[in-house]
A and B are shown apart, each in its own frame.
Chain A
Amino acid sequence: MKFCTVKQYFDDENNNNVTNGIATTVIPLPNKHLKIKANNKEMEQYEQELLRNVMPQELTKLILAANYLNFKEALDFFCRTVANAIQNKSVDYVRKFFGLESDFEPGEEEKLCKEFAWSFEGVDED
């Protein structure tokens, strides 16, 4: 079923969502996934590799591709990888890492930080 969507994608000429490079990463995933599904440690290693080589710009494209192809396992995997990159990190680090800037009003952001002050303890060093 998954390969039907892939075929459809290749037939769709106007599709700019997924570049060839991404396709080569996503397509072999089902096989790899099945092989290493049982072994958690290898998944971790694969995740680390992914993080080092691909993050962070390409990862958005991977997520969009997996979503478009309706490939649930890959989508979950990529989202979990992103979540692991955010885990235990400070707000500034996350912003820098993903290239985001705060677009809150100055007063709004201060208010948020104050209300959630209890959650900002214990982050890793930047």
Chain B
Amino acid sequence: MSIKPKNQENKDPRENQENQENKKGLHRSWSHLPPELLCLVSSYLLAGDFTTFRVICKSWRSSTSLPRPAVSTLTDSPWSLSPCLMSVGSHKCSFFHPAYQKHDACEIDIPELLDARIRFSKYGWLLLTGFGYDNFSVFFFNPFTKEKVELPKYKNRESFITMSFSSPPTSSDCFVIGICGWGDFGFIKRGEKRWTSHTIINRPEFTPSSYCNPILHKGLCYCLGENGGLGVFDPNDNPSNWIIYHNDKIPLIQEKLDSVHRSYLVESDEGKLLAIFMVEEGDSKTPIHVFELPKLQINKNMMKPRKIVCRIVRSLGNRILYISLGGSFLGPVVPRGLGNKIYLPIFEDKKNIFYSLSTGKYHFILDDYSAKNIHRLQEPMNCCWIQGRPKLILNKDFEW
């Protein structure tokens, strides 16, 4: 039994009563605010703050189910420099950013993209290929400024399976690489009028992955292989000579070759390369593995594949990883609650899916549902992350 000290009991009873009244009044005013006004308040909150809002009390939570007013367009917002997901539908392109948690936050009509396929995105530019008979067009497109840079057509029966480029098309050292599969690839440098074809010399154990675009990093080209290996070559010096490395952690995460169904290569902001593997697994294992590749000693005379020790990345700290076939980015986080997660270009019922490294599961934004695997969900065809850039206007007589 607790006994209150005497001096507390003798406190002015009127003051206590007043405090109680104030408290009740406060409670009444905030919990009884009309739901559409509560919804307006919540529309200014992003990510972690938005979920805090939903957990306060029942009336606040139910106000969030009302349609949210659009706050500002993605291109003008503070997040305009962080990647947003662009998906090209049959009529319009829609942009999505996880901080806004609202699919179709911004829709733009871009007719130039309707018959083209997005291959790679970096520096605010998209690399696309158009369909054609016996040759197909390759071009750069900037969806923010609507500028287009046409490249010479690629005349070859085989089309590219994966593609990448080194720098913005406005820079003089830009070059584009396209891998056809089975060791054939083509590339073209800025200023060249024709594509040059190459074949990887004598590397029977290595096949470039058909799901992962190569990455140009510090002057060299890195490419993940079908079995999780890594191929590296110097595009400026004998590009057919690929040095092959085997990742020592791959045998630990897969028992069958075909359980890795997606892989991605990303440059981290610290100048390192990360390799991400999505695995189709049962409930017991981790669905996504992230490895940091070590600094490689490139010995161009190396004929046999070498084993490299990769570091398992268990946490991204305060950064977000955005992955898609067309482009993957690792970015610092601004809104609270979005960090240490991998955002995927997958939607179900217009809700975006992300993977949390701390829980080891897939989650839906704005929903309570979480799952260990999502193999039943497809990545939409023409959809990739794109990083906005400050607007640059091309000269009128700009040529590739």
Residues of A participating in the B interface, judged by any CB pair closer than 8 Å: 56-57, 60-61, 63-64, 67, 75-76, 79-80, 82-84, 86-91, 94-95, 98-104, 109, 111-113, 115-123
Per-residue 0/1 for B355-382: is the Cβ within 8 Å of any A Cβ (1 yes, 0 no)?
A: 0101100010000101000000000000
CB distance from B263 to the nearest CB of A (A): 25
With A56-B26, A91-B55, A99-B26 as contacts: A115 and B48 at CB distance below 8 Å: no
A residues within 8 A CB of B358? 118
In the bound complex, do residue B336 and residue A122 qualify as a contact, i.e. CB atoms below 8 Å apart? Answer: yes
In the bound complex, do residue B47 and residue A61 qualify as a contact, i.e. CB atoms below 8 Å apart? Answer: no
In the bound complex, do residue B58 and residue A104 qualify as a contact, i.e. CB atoms below 8 Å apart? Answer: yes
CB distance from A122 to the nearest CB of B (A): 5
The 10 listed contacts between A and B (C-beta, < 8 Å) are A56-B26, A60-B33, A83-B45, A88-B336, A98-B56, A100-B30, A103-B58, A115-B370, A117-B359, A122-B337
B residues within 8 A CB of A83? 41-42, 44-45, 49
Q: Which of B27, B45, B48, B55 contacts A121 (CB 8 A)?
A: B48
In the bound complex, do residue B336 and residue A123 qualify as a contact, i.e. CB atoms below 8 Å apart? Answer: yes
B residues within 8 A CB of A84? 44
The CA-CA distance from A18 to B191 in the complex, in Å, is 70
With A118-B358, A120-B52 as contacts: A103 and B57 at CB distance below 8 Å: yes
The CA-CA distance from A96 to B121 in the complex, in Å, is 46
The CA-CA distance from A123 to B368 in the complex, in Å, is 21
Who on chain A is nearest to B47 by CB?
Answer: A119
Who on chain B is nearest to A57 by CB?
Answer: B26
In the bound complex, do residue B341 and residue A118 qualify as a contact, i.e. CB atoms below 8 Å apart? Answer: yes
In the bound complex, do residue A122 and residue B29 qualify as a contact, i.e. CB atoms below 8 Å apart? Answer: no
A residues within 8 A CB of B368? 111-112, 115-116
In the bound complex, do residue B45 and residue A86 qualify as a contact, i.e. CB atoms below 8 Å apart? Answer: yes
B residues within 8 A CB of A120? 48, 51-52, 337
In the bound complex, do residue A101 and residue B49 qualify as a contact, i.e. CB atoms below 8 Å apart? Answer: no
| 8 closest A-B pairs by CB | A99-B26, A83-B44, A119-B337, A119-B48, A119-B51, A60-B29, A98-B30, A115-B368
* Extra A-B contacts (15), CB below 8 Å, given A83-B49, A119-B52: A57-B29, A60-B30, A61-B29, A79-B43, A87-B336, A89-B52, A94-B56, A95-B56, A98-B30, A100-B27, A101-B27, A112-B55, A115-B370, A116-B54, A119-B337
Q: Which of A79, A90, A104 contacts B52 (CB 8 A)?
A: A90
Candidate in A82, A98, A119 with the most chain B CB atoms within 10 angstroms = A119
CB distance from B314 to the nearest CB of A (A): 15
A residues within 8 A CB of B370? 115
In the bound complex, do residue A116 and residue B27 qualify as a contact, i.e. CB atoms below 8 Å apart? Answer: no
Who on chain A is nearest to B60 by CB?
Answer: A100
The CA-CA distance from A91 to B33 in the complex, in Å, is 19
B residues within 8 A CB of A99? 22-23, 25-27, 30
Who on chain A is nearest to B39 by CB?
Answer: A79
The CA-CA distance from A64 to B34 in the complex, in Å, is 9
The CA-CA distance from A82 to B29 in the complex, in Å, is 14
In the bound complex, do residue A87 and residue B341 qualify as a contact, i.e. CB atoms below 8 Å apart? Answer: no
Who on chain B is nearest to A60 by CB?
Answer: B29
With A94-B56, A104-B58 as contacts: A57 and B51 at CB distance below 8 Å: no
